[in-house]
């Protein structure tokens, strides 16, 4: 699993992608800056352990329930808020729309009216963040993006603590066994092309059948198709004609995947094609709304 991304390898891959697709230069620079800050906080994160009782775990697995809810992931709130301010700085220079939003956010925080500490106490809840966005007249996608990227190191550290609790090959369902979220990507791995799904929230990867729509459970080969971009056999769009939804698949047998989210971000043109063909993406990453 790609749990220990080395920043150096990540930067190399970003360099390659920028050369290959110059149109993505700006967004890839932005991505790199944010990933650099996230990597920086990782070594000093303080994350509580997540207690799981065996009986409880077995019961959940039997009933098909995931282990946690999003808000159950322990957060290092101080580290997340420090990161939040750093990401705001990066956002300010990224583009005018982001800059305008960040200014409003900083104003809210500096007036002590916007209390993100309080909002994150008790864990991440989308509803709470959306409420703040509404209260302060903010674009909720921007605020959610900044918050989610600020807590990402905490969330991933929590997921890492749970890796030994689960068998990634046994679950086989269309939603994450840890947090119940939908997958944002699918990955083909090993010589035999085992298929894994990547959780859009916690980053966990679990195995599913090759012919399977994660969103409606469809297993009929006749209605499951895929298409690639030109000259891009490693990245493709898997469509389902039953629910008219799609997932992006990265074939990790031919390329080394340093960071699946990066690969996703650098192939937004495939999402555009899928949308034009009338398919919907149920669970984008915060990077690909």
Cβ within 8 Å of residue 187, ≥6 positions away: 195, 196, 197, 198, 205, 249, 250, 251, 252, 257, 260
Segment near Zn ion (CB under 5 A); pick from 20-28, 31-39, 123-131, 238-246? 238-246
Three-state SS at 265: helix
Strand partners, 247: 238
| Interacting residue with Zn ion among 242, 253, 255, 271 (CB under 5 A) | 242
Q: Please identify, among the stretches 80-88, 205-213, 227-235, 257-265, the one whose residues bind Zn ion according to the rule CB under 5 A.
A: 205-213
Q: Using CB under 5 A, pick the residue from 184, 218, 234, 239 that binds Zn ion.
A: 218
| CA distance linking residue 80 with residue 44, whole number of Å | 11
Q: Is 202 in the site for Zn ion (CB under 5 A)?
A: yes
Dihedral angle over CA of 189, 215, 125, 68, nearest 10:
-60
**157 vs 213, which CB is nearer to Zn ion?**
213
> Site size for Zn ion, by CB under 5 A?
15
Of the candidates 195, 193, 205, which has an alpha carbon nearest to the alpha carbon of residue 253? 193
Calculate the alpha carbon distances from 118 to 86, 124, 127, 133, 139 in Å: 19, 11, 14, 14, 20
Q: Of residues 154-183, which lie at the interface with Zn ion (CB under 5 A)?
A: 176, 178-179, 181
Q: Is there binding between residue 138 and Zn ion (CB under 5 A)?
A: no
Among 105, 132, 213, 237, binds Zn ion (CB under 5 A): 213
Answer for which of 83, 240, 265, 270 binds Zn ion (CB under 5 A) is 240
Of the listed pieces 19-27, 82-90, 210-218, 259-267, which binds Zn ion according to CB under 5 A?
Answer: 210-218
Q: Which is nearer to Zn ion, 32 or 154 (CB)?
A: 154
**Nearest approach, Cβ of 48 to Zn ion (angstroms)?**
18
155/202 Cα distance (integer angstroms): 6
- 3-class DSSP assignment, residue 163: helix
Minimum distance of Zn ion from residue 104's CB (angstroms): 31
Closer residue to Zn ion in complex, CB, 243/268: 243
Among 50, 243, 268, 273, binds Zn ion (CB under 5 A): 243
- Out of 168, 216, 255, 268, the residue judged to bind Zn ion by CB under 5 A: 216
Compute the radius of gyration of the chain from its Cα atoms. Answer: 19
- Least separation, in Å, of the C-beta of 222 and Zn ion? 13
Using CA atoms, how far residue 93 sits from 38, 100, 102, in Å, is 18, 10, 10
Contacting positions for Zn ion (CB under 5 A): 176, 178-179, 181, 199, 201-202, 204, 213, 215-216, 218, 240, 242-243
């Amino acid at each position: 699993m790609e749990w220990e991304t080395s920043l150096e390898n990540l930067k190399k891959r970003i360099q390659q992608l920028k050369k290959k697709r110059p149109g993505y230069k700006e967004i890839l620079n932005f991505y790199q800056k944010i990933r650099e800050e996230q990597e920086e906080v990782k070594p000093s994160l303080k994350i509580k352990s997540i207690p799981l009782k065996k009986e409880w775990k077995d019961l959940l697995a039997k009933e098909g329930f995931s282990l946690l809810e999003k808000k159950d992931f322990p957060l290092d709130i101080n580290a997340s808020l420090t990161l939040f301010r750093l990401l705001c700085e990066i956002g300010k220079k990224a583009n005018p729309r982001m800059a305008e939003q960040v200014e409003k956010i900083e104003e809210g925080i500096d007036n002590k009216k916007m209390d993100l500490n309080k909002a994150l106490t008790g864990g991440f809840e989308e509803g709470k963040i959306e409420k703040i966005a509404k209260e302060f007249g903010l674009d909720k996608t921007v605020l959610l993006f900044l918050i989610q990227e600020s807590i990402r190191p905490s969330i991933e550290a929590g997921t890492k603590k749970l890796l030994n609790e689960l068998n990634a090959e046994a679950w086989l369902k269309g939603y994450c066994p840890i947090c119940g979220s939908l997958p944002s990507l699918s990955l083909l791995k090993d010589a035999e092309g085992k298929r894994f799904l990547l959780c859009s929230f916690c980053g966990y990867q679990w195995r599913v059948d090759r012919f399977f729509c994660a969103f409606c459970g469809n297993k009929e080969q006749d209605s499951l198709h895929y298409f690639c971009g030109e000259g891009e056999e490693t990245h493709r769009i898997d469509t389902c004609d039953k629910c008219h939804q799609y997932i992006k698949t990265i074939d990790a047998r031919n390329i080394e995947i340093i960071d699946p989210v990066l690969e996703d971000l650098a192939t937004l043109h495939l999402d555009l094609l899928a949308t034009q063909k009338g398919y919907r993406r149920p669970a984008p990453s915060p990077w690909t709304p």
